[in-house]
Amino acid sequence: MKTLTTDVAIIGSGTAGLNALREVEKAGLSWLLIESGEYGTMCARTGCMPSKLLIAAAEVSHTIDHADVFGIHAKDKTINAQSVFERVRSERDRFAGFVVKSTQARPEEFRIKGHAKFIDNNTLQVDDHTIINAQSIVIATGSEPFIPPAFNKIKDDLLINDDVFELQEFPRTLAVIGTGIIGLELGQSLHRLGVETTFFSRSDQLSALTDPVVHSKAREVLSKELNFVFNSNITHADKSSSGIHLKWRDANDTEHSQLFDKILISTGRKSTLQHLNLEAVGLTNEQVRQEWNEQTAQVGDLPIFVAGDAAGHRQILHEASDEGRIAGKNAALYPNTIAQVRRTPLAITFTDPQMALVGKTYSELQPKNIEVGEASYDDQGRARVMNQHRGIIRIYANKTDCTLVGAELFSPRAENLAHLLAWAVQQKMTIQQALEMPVYHPVLEEGVRTALRDVMNKLKLTGNCRSIDLADAPGE
């Protein structure tokens, strides 16, 4: 057993870990980077990038299927599964390759391979080969898929995220377990690429939408295209020579069963804290999460910092990146820390139409404190032009000061509209100011303006800010 001493030990070389590392380097301190698996971030290797590549292919397929509307006919569409996945894999490998290379370019002596476990606040043991003494420790071990117990028996036959991208051909039938972000993105894509897809959910929740109006519209629109089995409880999953046999109970406790070629598990990802022996520092995993400070990434006043999916705060790339930086900076400053204000929350689901959450979600707000502005995309001008006229957006304004505080979207290009709204929320823009901003014609952003006008009309009647001469806003 070797013993090493360093200023900052970083467990995990994903997005959060690498960002932490850069901050430690900037501070001129020594570091050790511990990784138990392959180099390369989850996002590039198995998460955001490859899923967007599959979605891009699915969109092309969908465009061809609906070209008739525009007077264009392409009848003999064929999808070459091998080519589809080859593009996904080669682009993914290219993206991931940059990360791997930049990690491997760092001195080998500072990169330790193996599983780290805590011995005490300042000591880690890596496998059975190395003891590390560190002034402070950054935990950036990411998350791992949660697999429902009913599937334990057939674990090896399940598709879990990245397994999808290793396929050489499409399954004929696919059960998607879970209707969260990943399930919807991959499931809808595979459906549009010709896979007969069935979605199972214990509830009827789609992605992370909390606004009942937006959520109900999303269910209505997506149910026309996709086959959802909501409020179902999978009781058995067995493998046979003809496929995987699923049994489930519906909301009325009636049992059903069906055979599927493949099962995609997308029931969420859980933090990996439990593998780190945090009992050694006197904390349960639950306590670590409770004592974790999102503005310093520190756990209580310990020399321990958590960043990214391991923190379980917001499992989103740009948040992991921020948390890594915050953790690295403060691990270097320890015992001092600097609190850093977090960005306005922004979460996007790349379905079609897309979903997005901006700022405060509807569920986080008190109805009595806000007015809601609404705009339908079912008949929105530009959306009609593009034959993508489906959806709704709702924006939330604080009654006291007329500022925009949040929004939930289910619309074409919600990803772009959500950035516009998130920047406005972070700027504490009032609804009146937002209506003074330029909006071109014909664009999808005009729907945002419709929602702004809607909420302004309501604020006129009830808001404390009604004394402002709202009638003069040029957007009206």
Site for a copy of itself in 369-428 (CB under 8 A): 381-382, 384-387, 413, 415-420, 422-424, 426-427
Footprint (CB under 8 A) of a copy of itself, residues 173-202? none
CB of 141 to a copy of itself, least distance (A): 20
- 438 contacts 461 by C-beta, under 8 angstroms: no
The residues pairing with 264 across neighbouring beta strands, listed in sequence order, are 159, 176
Give whichever of 132 and 421 is closer to a copy of itself, judged by the CB atom. Answer: 421
Nearest to 134 by CA among 292, 303, 299, 294: 303
CA distance 275 to 232: 31
Q: What string marks each residue from 223 to 262 as x (binds a copy of itself by CB under 8 A) or -?
A: ----------------------------------------
**DSSP β-ladder status, 173-177 and 262-265:** parallel
Footprint (CB under 8 A) of a copy of itself, residues 289-318? 316-318
Residue 167 CA to its chain's centroid (Å): 23
> What is the CB-side half-sphere exposure of residue 428 using CA atoms within 13 A?
2
In the list 154, 208, 439, 468, the residue contacting a copy of itself (rule: CB under 8 A) is 439
C-alpha distance across the termini of the chain, in Å: 72
In the list 144, 437, 460, 468, the residue contacting a copy of itself (rule: CB under 8 A) is 437
In the list 141, 337, 344, 351, the residue contacting a copy of itself (rule: CB under 8 A) is 344
Stretch that binds a copy of itself, among 305-313, 319-327, 365-373, 399-407 (CB under 8 A): 319-327
Footprint (CB under 8 A) of a copy of itself, residues 39-98? 43, 48-49, 52-53, 56-57, 60-61, 63-64, 67, 69-87, 91, 95
CA distance 41 to 196: 31
Stretch that binds a copy of itself, among 168-176, 221-229, 368-376, 433-441 (CB under 8 A): 433-441
Does residue 343 belong to the site contacting a copy of itself (CB under 8 A)? yes
Residue keyed to tokens 């969908």: 62
The residues pairing with 229 across neighbouring beta strands, listed in sequence order, are 200
CB of 143 to a copy of itself, least distance (A): 16
CB of 100 to a copy of itself, least distance (A): 16
Nearest to 124 by CA among 235, 277, 336: 277
Residue 403 per-residue DSSP state:
B
Q: Where are the alpha helices (DSSP H) in 247-400?
A: 285-291, 317-333, 381-385
**Cα 342–344–346 angle (5° rounding)?**
120
Give whichever of 273 and 317 is closer to a copy of itself, judged by the CB atom. Answer: 317
In the list 438, 461, 467, 469, the residue contacting a copy of itself (rule: CB under 8 A) is 438
CB of 417 to a copy of itself, least distance (A): 8
Footprint (CB under 8 A) of a copy of itself, residues 442-461? 442-445
Give whichever of 32 and 425 is closer to a copy of itself, judged by the CB atom. Answer: 425
Give whichever of 70 and 146 is closer to a copy of itself, judged by the CB atom. Answer: 70
In the list 126, 160, 348, 456, the residue contacting a copy of itself (rule: CB under 8 A) is 348
Helices 48-65 and 81-104: angle between axes, nearest 10 degrees: 160
Residue 134 per-residue DSSP state:
E
Nearest to 456 by CA among 428, 427, 426, 436: 436
Binding footprint of a copy of itself, residue count (CB under 8 A) = 77
In the list 441, 461, 467, 469, the residue contacting a copy of itself (rule: CB under 8 A) is 441
Footprint (CB under 8 A) of a copy of itself, residues 110-169? none
CB of 329 to a copy of itself, least distance (A): 9
Nearest to 11 by CA among 228, 212, 311: 311
Footprint (CB under 8 A) of a copy of itself, residues 91-120? 91, 95
Give whichever of 264 and 444 is closer to a copy of itself, judged by the CB atom. Answer: 444
Asked, as a colleague might, if the bond just before 107 is cis with ω within 30 of 0, I would say: no
CB of 357 to a copy of itself, least distance (A): 11
CA distance 157 to 264: 10
Q: List Cβ<8 Å contacts ≥24 apart for 66-75.
A: 66/387, 69/387, 70/387
